[in-house]
Amino acid sequence: MSDEKTHFGYQQVPIGEKAKRVADVFHSVADNYDIMNDVMSFGVHRLWKRFTLSQTGLKAGQKVLDLAGGTGDLALKMTSMVGPSGQVVLSDINGSMLRRGRERLIDNGVAGNIEYVQANAECLPFADDTFDCITIAFGLRNVTDKDKALRSMLRILKPGGRLLVLEFSKPVAPGLAPVYDAYSFKLLPLMGKYIAKDEDSYQYLAESIRMHPGQETLKGMMEEAGFNKVKYHNLSGGIVALHKGYKV
C-alpha cells in the first residue's frame, strides 16, 4: 500500500485517508451548513455566488453540473436559468450534504429538470462532452487530487463549455491578511463551537483554506489540465476568487 501523504488541514495524512476524513467533517456540519455560511461570511457568500451565476452564460435548454454542490443554493438558481428543457445535475461526494440539497430543492418546488448524483470529482461518472457548464463552489480545496479532478471536469465538458471554480484564495488588499488570519483561527472555530457545536470541523475548514493554492497557482493548474482562456476575478479583496476556464 502506498505510504504517500497529503494534507488534511495542517496535518499530513495517508492519501487514502483524506476522503474519509473530509467526509466525516461534512457529515458533521451538514445540518448547520447554511446558517454557518451566513454567519461566517456575514451573508456575503450570497453575493459571491450571485456573481458566479452571472458568469455561467447559461441559456434555456443547456445542461449544467454543480459539483460539490452541497445544500443546492447554486443548483436552485440554475434550474430556472436552464428552464424545463434544460437539466441541472447536483453532485456531491458527501451523502449528508446531497440529502440536504435535495430536501432544499424539493421544498422549493423544483422537479423535472434536476438530478442528484453522489460522485467523486476525481472520477466523474458522466460521458465525455456532456455539460455546457460546470460549477464548483468552495469544494475544490477538499479534493485530494485536484489535478485529476480538473482533468475529469474537462473531459465531461462540451467543446466551448466553461468551468467556474469559486474558492477561498489569498487576500491581496493591503492590510487584509492579518485581520483575516485572526478571524479564521480565532473567531471561526469559536463560531463552529457555539453555533454548530463542532469546533474541530471549523478549525479544519480554516486550515484547508490556507492550504489551498493561490490565484496564480490555481490558474496554472487549470491551464495544465487543458483549460483555455483561464482568468480569475478577486472578490472581497482576494479572500475569495472566481476562476473561469474553457474547453477548446
Domain boundaries, the chain: 5-173+201-246
5-173+201-246 has which CATH code?
3.40.50.150
pLDDT of residue 187: 86
pLDDT of residue 1: 43
pLDDT per residue over 151-185, tens digit each?
999 999 999 999 999 999 999 999 999 998 888 88
Binding residue numbers: 71, 92, 120-121
* d(C-alpha 181, C-alpha 13), whole Å: 24
* d(C-alpha 99, C-alpha 188), whole Å: 25
- Locate 23 and state its grid cell: 467526509
Average pLDDT of every residue of the chain = 90
Look at the block and give the residue holding cell 453532485: 91
SS3 category, 40: helix
* d(C-alpha 162, C-alpha 59), whole Å: 13
pLDDT per residue over 209-234, tens digit each?
888 999 999 999 999 999 999 999 99
Does residue 75 carry a pLDDT above 60? Answer: yes
Binding residue numbers for S-adenosyl-L-methionine: 71, 92, 120-121
Does residue 40 carry a pLDDT above 60? Answer: yes
* d(C-alpha 188, C-alpha 206), whole Å: 7
pLDDT of residue 30: 66
pLDDT per residue over 80-113, tens digit each?
999 999 999 999 999 988 999 999 999 999 989 9
* d(C-alpha 27, C-alpha 25), whole Å: 6
